[in-house]
């Protein structure tokens, strides 16, 4: 077993759970988007662990790009709010 991929899966899943939990508490879409992005990363780590990474390389690439774009969008939301404050 690849310990790096396992630790990435565990940590990504924890961030997903924390993001959903905080969204339920505060209705903050930003933390929800961050959690969803890490959930997408967790899916790719799981696919790697079960040996499907080579067969699903294109899908994994798309999932990871969507994850990164989701993080970028979450950061943009924070930046836009701070710009309005001035």
Task: Please report how many Cα atoms fall inside a 13 Å half-sphere around the Cα of residue 43, on the Cβ side.
Answer: 17
| Separation of CA 31 from chain center | 10
| Residues contacting residue 17 through CB under 8 Å, at least 6 positions apart | 35
Domain residue ranges in the chain? 3-85
Runs of H (alpha helix) within 27-56: 29-49
**Global confidence as pTM:** 0.89
pLDDT tens digit at each of 86 positions of the chain? 799 999 999 999 999 999 999 999 999 999 999 999 999 999 999 999 999 988 999 999 999 999 999 999 999 999 998 877 65
């Amino acid at each position: 077993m690849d310990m790096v991929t396992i630790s990435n899966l565990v940590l990504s899943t924890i961030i997903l759970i924390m993001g959903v939990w905080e969204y339920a508490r505060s209705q903050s879409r930003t933390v929800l988007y961050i959690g969803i992005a890490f959930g997408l990363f967790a899916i790719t780590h799981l696919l790697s662990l079960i040996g499907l990474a080579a067969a699903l390389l294109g899908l994994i690439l798309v999932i990871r790009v969507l994850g990164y774009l989701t993080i970028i969008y979450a950061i943009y939301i924070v930046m836009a709010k701070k710009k309005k404050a001035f």
